[in-house]
Amino acid sequence: MFFANDNRDIVRSENPGISFGGVGKLLGERWKALTPEEKVPYETKAEADKKRYEEEKANYQAQQQQEE
């Protein structure tokens, strides 16, 4: 998601008139072409975001149980 967000506008500007699916396909190809080292910043952001989500979900569920 973070890689796609950072690169979506670049793909669109390099390929005027490209379809939504075409953008996704090119983003996927570019992701696969990255080295493991180039992927690290995006994977780190994704892990942090997943942790944030899990914490928010747990807090929400706890709040819902208290309201019952």
8 and 23 Cβ atoms separated by less than 8 Å? yes
Q: What is the CA radius of gyration of the chain?
A: 17
Locate the domains of the chain by residue range: 1-34, 36-67
CA atoms within 13 A on the CB side of 48: 7
Q: What is the pTM of this model?
A: 0.76
d(CA 41, CA 19): 28
CA–CA distances in Å: residue 24 to residues 3, 4, 31: 11, 8, 10
At residue 67, the pLDDT reads 81
Per-residue model confidence as pLDDT tens digits over 7-57: 999 999 999 999 999 999 999 999 999 999 999 999 999 999 999 999 999
Tokens of 8: 């979506």
